[in-house]
């Protein structure tokens, strides 16, 4: 397995995915799209953890468990973020970042 | 080219193409669908690396949970044919510039570094081994993070309910 694909290929894929997420975070002005960009970034980090675990330390499971915990935290984060987004939509009737600029209502 | 290489190339190309489409698509529902494809290809990479349990978790939690949640919130907050305005030019330049510079820096750094592969014997990562290590308090056990994350999930559950709950009618009238 590891002789067919070097570790660097995984790292390049996850780097490109991470910076796509960063670009989406900066370019998009919509809260849900920003949330999706954050999910992309979290996911690329997971690929790194898993690839390092399999290639460098196949006798341990640290990367595997960290990925498991990150997936759980991402799910919790998405639930809270979407609750916040729906609440913002109720107050401002829009979830574009440019329209949500008052702290007081 | 062996089958393994073909599968890896397929998943890698799918991840890259669909993650760019996720942020480039101007219809938000399509963006969510492309995100689903990215997450499924990532699960494919986990299968490729022989982490079957992790791939199952990825499909069930990410593709089954988070994407469905995102699609629900899109349907609650947008008209189904909603199209975004074109992004501001300054944002576009800043975003693409940061992405290109950052990825060039990161890739050039990691290509110049030699990760020595160790000749250790791989252990089988089956559900039995995962479960035992997850709740073990011995060396390399993950009992404490497991408990912490269960508290965190409970807190997120309560927090989501409190945030999204409708305000009291009497409370809004008095304002």
Spacing of C-alpha A53 from chain mean position: 20
The last residue of a domain, from among B28, B57, B82: B82
Residues B10 and B76 in one domain: yes
Q: What is the pLDDT of residue B162?
A: 85
Check B73 against A1: CB less than 8 A apart. no
Check B38 against A27: CB less than 8 A apart. no
Residues B5 and B78 in one domain: yes
For A34, the closest chain B residue by CA position comes to B23
**How many domains is chain B built from?**
2
Check A33 against B125: CB less than 8 A apart. no
Could you tell me the pTM of the whole model? 0.88
B154 in contact with A, Cβ within 8 Å = no
Residue B14 CA to residue B20 CA, distance in Å, equals: 10
Q: With bands split at pLDDT 50, 70 and 90, how would you rate the model's confidence at B18?
A: very high
Would residue A40 count as lying in a domain? yes
**How many domains is chain A built from?**
1
* Least CB–CB distance from B38: residue in A40, A54, A58: A40
Cβ-based contacts under 8 A for chains A and B: 225
Residue A54 CA to residue B56 CA, distance in Å, equals: 17
Would residue B109 count as lying in a domain? no
A99 in contact with B, Cβ within 8 Å = no
Would residue B104 count as lying in a domain? no
For B31, the closest chain A residue by CA position comes to A33
Q: With bands split at pLDDT 50, 70 and 90, how would you rate the model's confidence at A2?
A: low
Would residue A70 count as lying in a domain? yes
B3 burial (CB, 10 Å; 0-12 / 13-18 / 19+) is exposed
Residues B2 and B66 in one domain: yes
Q: Which residues of A38-60 are buried (b: 16+ CB within 10 A; e: fewer)?
A: bbbbbbbbbbbbbbbbbbbebee
Q: With bands split at pLDDT 50, 70 and 90, how would you rate the model's confidence at B82?
A: confident
Read off the pLDDT of residues A13-72 as tens digits, 9 standing for 90 and up: 999 999 999 999 999 888 899 999 999 999 999 999 999 988 888 888 888 899 999 999
Q: How far does the CA of residue A27 sit from the closest CA of chain B (Å)? A: 5
Question: What are the DSSP E strand ranges found in chain B?
Answer: none
* Domain membership of residue A38 as a residue range: 7-92
- The complex scores an ipTM of 0.90
Who's near B30: CB < 8 A, 6+ residues apart?
B21
Q: How far does the CA of residue A73 sit from the closest CA of chain B (Å)? A: 8
Tokens (6 digits) for A2 = 């590891």
DSSP state of B123: P
* Domain membership of residue B144 as a residue range: 126-166
A88 in contact with B, Cβ within 8 Å = no
Residues B60 and B8 in one domain: yes
Residues B14 and B67 in one domain: yes
Check A7 against B115: CB less than 8 A apart. yes
Write the CATH number for A72: 1.10.287.3510
pLDDT of B154 over the 70 cut: yes
Would residue B97 count as lying in a domain? no
Would residue A68 count as lying in a domain? yes
Q: How far does the CA of residue B66 sit from the closest CA of chain A (Å)? A: 6
Residue A88 CA to residue A102 CA, distance in Å, equals: 11
Would residue A100 count as lying in a domain? no
The last residue of a domain, from among B82, B101, B117: B82
């Amino acid at each position: 397995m590891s002789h067919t694909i070097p570790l660097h290929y995984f790292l390049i894929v996850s780097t490109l995915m991470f910076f796509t997420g960063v670009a989406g975070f900066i370019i998009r002005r919509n809260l849900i799209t920003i949330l999706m960009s954050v999910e992309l970034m979290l996911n690329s980090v997971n690929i790194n953890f898993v690839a390092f675990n399999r290639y460098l330390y196949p006798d341990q499971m640290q990367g595997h468990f960290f990925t498991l915990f990150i997936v759980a935290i991402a799910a919790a984060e998405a639930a809270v973020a979407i609750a916040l987004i729906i609440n913002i939509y109720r107050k401002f009737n829009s979830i574009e970042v440019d329209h949500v600029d008052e702290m007081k209502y | 080219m062996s089958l393994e290489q073909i599968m890896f190339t397929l998943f890698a190309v799918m991840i890259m193409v669909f993650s760019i489409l996720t942020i480039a698509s101007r219809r938000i529902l399509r963006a969510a669908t492309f995100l689903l494809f990215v997450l499924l290809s990532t699960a494919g990479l986990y299968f490729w690396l022989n982490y079957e349990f992790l791939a199952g978790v990825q499909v069930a939690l990410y593709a089954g949970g988070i994407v469905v949640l995102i699609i629900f919130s899109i349907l609650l907050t947008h008209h189904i044919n909603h199209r975004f305005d074109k992004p501001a030019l300054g944002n576009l330049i800043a975003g693409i510039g940061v992405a290109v510079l950052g990825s060039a820096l990161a890739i050039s750094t990691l290509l110049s570094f030699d990760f020595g592969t160790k000749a250790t014997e791989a252990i089988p990562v089956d559900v039995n081994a995962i479960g035992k290590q997850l709740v073990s308090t011995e060396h390399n056990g993950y009992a404490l993070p497991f408990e912490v994350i269960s508290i965190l999930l409970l807190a997120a559950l309560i927090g989501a309910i409190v945030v999204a709950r409708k305000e009291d009618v009497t409370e809004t009238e008095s304002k």
